[in-house]
Amino acid sequence: MSDKMNGMQVTAENEVDLIQGLLHAADYKNDEEMQKTVEIKRNGKVYFYFKIRPLGEEELLDARKKAAVMMPNPANPKLPPVEKEIRLDEFSAWKIYFATVDPEKVWDAPEVIQGLKAKGFPVLRGIDVINTVLRAGEKDKIDADIDKLSGFYDTEMTEEEYAKN
């Protein structure tokens, strides 16, 4: 067997390495080396921390779908509804939720939900907790970290390339 792939000749000798590499790359969601610990720190005090991991395309699409406001299809009301807008606060919260390692222990912890309800906050689920306890800037920074872990900023753009675009 011999195929050219990105300038690399795949032969019987290195096919096992290729297969092992593909299998290892597929396990990025569980790779602890790709996870990052996020600390929620205010005025020098760490309130809590949790780990985030990279997201796959399917998870990002699911987060977008959950945050979308739908409307009847203008072409024909009998067709499936179309996306009207994205609620950015919900989209960000869903990304954080999906990227959190063990969200059940952080965002869905019954003690947290009950404690917030006792304080008068309207929380029913994990993203409600995220939207209640995280400030806008904190969510934005975590969102950017998730994007970096997910490979969106893997290529560095030089100032010259930026100027050309």
Q: Is the per-residue pLDDT at 73 higher than 70?
A: yes
Structure token digits, residue 76: 């024909």
Is the residue at 21 inside a domain? no
**Looking at the DSSP assignment, which residues form a beta bridge with residue 80?**
none
Whether 143 and 162 have beta carbons less than 8 Å apart is answered as: no
- Separation CA 52–CA 46 (nearest Å): 17
* Residue 39 φ then ψ, to 5°: -105, 130
Q: Could you give the number of structural domains in the chain?
A: 1
Nearest alpha-carbon partner for 94 in 81, 107, 105, 83: 107
Is the residue at 37 inside a domain? no
Is the residue at 4 inside a domain? no
pTM of the model: 0.77
Is the residue at 1 inside a domain? no
pLDDT digits (tens, 9 = 90+) for 26-47: 777 777 888 999 999 999 999 9
Within a 10 A sphere around the Cβ of 79, how many other Cβ atoms?
A: 10
Is the residue at 8 inside a domain? no
Structure token digits, residue 51: 């780990």
Confidence of residue 1 (pLDDT cuts 50, 70, 90): very low
Q: What is the extent of the structural domain holding 110?
A: 54-153
Is the residue at 145 inside a domain? yes
